[in-house]
Structure 1
């Protein structure tokens, strides 16, 4: 039997494993993942703020995967593409006939000095918990230090994760103020963004709504303000300095460093794949999810790396592996977005939906929609029981 090795059990890898196990009994499927659990990366900001616990956004891989899928908990070190082997940190190398490389993302610092040392990224459960612990300890410390910077919070970046973090933060702040007996009028939140626009993936009216909502809850935006350095307690720009003892780093992400370490032709650890999601000159290898760069045939620009796209890629990758085994022609990847939903806390947000027309939504109606999106993701990756338990 031919062997399929899947690296990473995020949205793309987990979905591919489930599809291959269900529809391809002639294949042996093995998944390698760093953790024994899958986490919903689109909800990390909630753990970082404290509105949800890790158990709320994670589930067991062993329980979610079909019994005929092997699961190895280990870190991928390198892919030897000529030998068709994958080196692991704690196991012997694994050989494969077909490879699905769906390793996840890492924080992108863009080479800004001090960003890695002094910023708090949100890329997995440990970093989200570290950001939450830092925020709570720093706020609580104000009663002892009386340092105004303990009550100042800076969010670096104004993209999707940044805005969702800010939304949950302003929602949760009253509880933190009450818990630590803080002076509400002294809390200061700044969002610093190099580009002139916040939430560029949304139409201007929806982006404006999100900005105005957050501004009305105490957030100050500094757009067209590129960050030049992060020092302890200070974010530097060309003309300004911003002080805060909590600095959240959500300016962007890149693919896993394993991509560059393995000699792929890449940019920011993302591989430009062919239309069928395979790698040029390696037809048995598919790169999907956060480590792939997929051109939109209509615009020529790369699709963004989102959970929705990762799941759609998994469907095509699984179909094409089955086609290779059966000697059939492969399917090209074509993506039709269902829309985008950005939460502003659990009860507010903005959304553009492309189902039965083009819907622009804002306000409290978006809260339930965001929940439906999260539930659908869990259902596609696991089962109804897991979905219900996550609520």
Structure 2
């Protein structure tokens, strides 16, 4: 009697959850044992975390219990933290035991990339999880309460966001919507509140359409955001940030959105990485390890059109999850694997309530039309992972 192969999926992010869901639909009973490992018992929607971080939405809107997304008769769920990956022994060490595998899917998500900037790790917030956005939301509101007791400390009302990529831009859009409400609640003069968005690159939203970038900056500037583009943060302290030109911006709130790297566990496992990411082959496998697939923030794939890495977006991770599941089933059945080819269906960035910019196909959209499209994209994702029921429960919260 042949032994049933074991598939272990590490991480229930966009790639991991889509892999698990597709496998439970594709594989027959007793064709494989599938185990999904995640440190939380919920999947969270990373692309909407900027909303509860600013306080314009509830963190609960960005999380879905994993039990609602998988069939636990077909996929075993293990709530635990991954400590070590041992490819030689085909084992994964968890905080609560060890799992062996025949096929491994690594979708652990990325980690904050500080680029060696002193003090960022110690003094800056990051929009990376449900718990982190709760902390940011509460901290921001607390600054208004502190200012009322200590009005000489105007740095309590100064908010610095490092990085003007998608997360940074979307966050300052939401924060600029939240500030008037907080000013009214705490009886604070709005003119005292400062929001700085600092970006080392020569433009906000690097790589995005210049016309739409200009529109976004005009909208956000009108909402009270001060941009410092082409300006690097040199150091972060408990009192604020030192930027290029030796300007020091006093602030009690620094939020870093300037980049991510792959998971440190891949380096520690002995795999060859670039900033913690692994350059996978056309089938999403690690070269030399045909039984290990890597998705999302931990994978590195080159765009043949410009010879640059694809950005680690939710869209690409979802597509990788679908192809990964197909290739796992094909590997088990001795079938032909499918090459991964990214299909860019468009990109939309929110600028706060009723405002956004985007490119759908070759069409540029902005304003309310783009904001509506952003909502459609969010609801579409809920439908993909949870059907109509999840849309009805969560759709209205976006």
Q: CA deviation at 1:238?
A: 3.2
Residue 150 of structure 2 corresponds to 145
Gaps of 5+ in 2: none
Q: Does the 8 A contact of 1:158 with 1:251 survive in 2? A: yes
The one of 124, 130, 134 equivalent to 1:129 is 134
Q: Which runs of 4+ in 1 moved over 6 A?
A: none
Residue 272 of structure 2 corresponds to 265
The one of 227, 232, 241 equivalent to 2:248 is 241
Q: Secondary structure at the match of 2:310?
A: coil
For residues 342-389 of structure 1, the C-alpha deviation after alignment (integer angstroms, 9 at most, x for no partner) is 0011311101001xxx11011111222111111111222222211221
1:225 maps to 2:228: no
Distance 2:132 2:309 in 1: 28
Q: Does the 8 A contact of 2:85 with 2:269 survive in 1? A: yes
Q: Secondary structure at the match of 2:303?
A: coil
The one of 220, 234, 244 equivalent to 1:214 is 220
1:61 maps to 2:66: yes
Residue 83 of structure 2 corresponds to 77
Residue 250 of structure 1 corresponds to 257
Residue 97 of structure 1 corresponds to 102
Output the TM-score relative to the length of structure 1: 0.97
Distance 2:281 2:242 in 1: 40
Distance 1:54 1:337 in 2: 28
Distance 1:201 1:22 in 2: 37
Distance 2:105 2:191 in 1: 52
Distance 2:267 2:145 in 1: 41
Distance 2:275 2:388 in 1: 36
For residues 204-228 of structure 1, the C-alpha deviation after alignment (integer angstroms, 9 at most, x for no partner) is 1100000011111111111111111
Q: Does the 8 A contact of 1:65 with 1:382 survive in 2? A: no
Q: Does the 8 A contact of 1:4 with 1:30 survive in 2? A: yes
Q: Does the 8 A contact of 2:240 with 2:253 survive in 1? A: no
Residue 6 of structure 2 corresponds to 3
The one of 111, 116, 119 equivalent to 2:116 is 111
Residue 312 of structure 2 corresponds to 305
Q: Does the 8 A contact of 1:64 with 1:383 survive in 2? A: no
Distance 1:345 1:113 in 2: 31
1:15 maps to 2:22: no
Distance 2:384 2:301 in 1: 22
Residue 281 of structure 2 corresponds to 274
For residues 54-102 of structure 1, the C-alpha deviation after alignment (integer angstroms, 9 at most, x for no partner) is 2111110012111311000000011100111000012x21011111111
Q: CA deviation at 1:200?
A: 1.6
Residue 331 of structure 1 corresponds to 338
Q: Does the 8 A contact of 1:11 with 1:381 survive in 2? A: no
Work out the number of aligned pairs and report it.
387
For residues 163-202 of structure 1, the C-alpha deviation after alignment (integer angstroms, 9 at most, x for no partner) is 0001101112211111111111111111111111001232
Distance 2:225 2:239 in 1: 18
Gaps of 5+ in 1: none
Residue 202 of structure 1 corresponds to 208
How is 1:173-192 mapped onto 2 (pairs within 5 angstroms)? 173-192=179-198
1:293 maps to 2:297: no
Q: Secondary structure at the match of 2:34?
A: strand
1:49 maps to 2:54: yes
Q: Does the 8 A contact of 1:148 with 1:186 survive in 2? A: yes
Q: CA deviation at 1:251?
A: 0.8
Distance 1:222 1:299 in 2: 28
The farther-off stretch of 312-321 and 231-240 is 231-240
Q: Does the 8 A contact of 2:262 with 2:276 survive in 1? A: yes
Q: CA deviation at 1:307?
A: 0.6
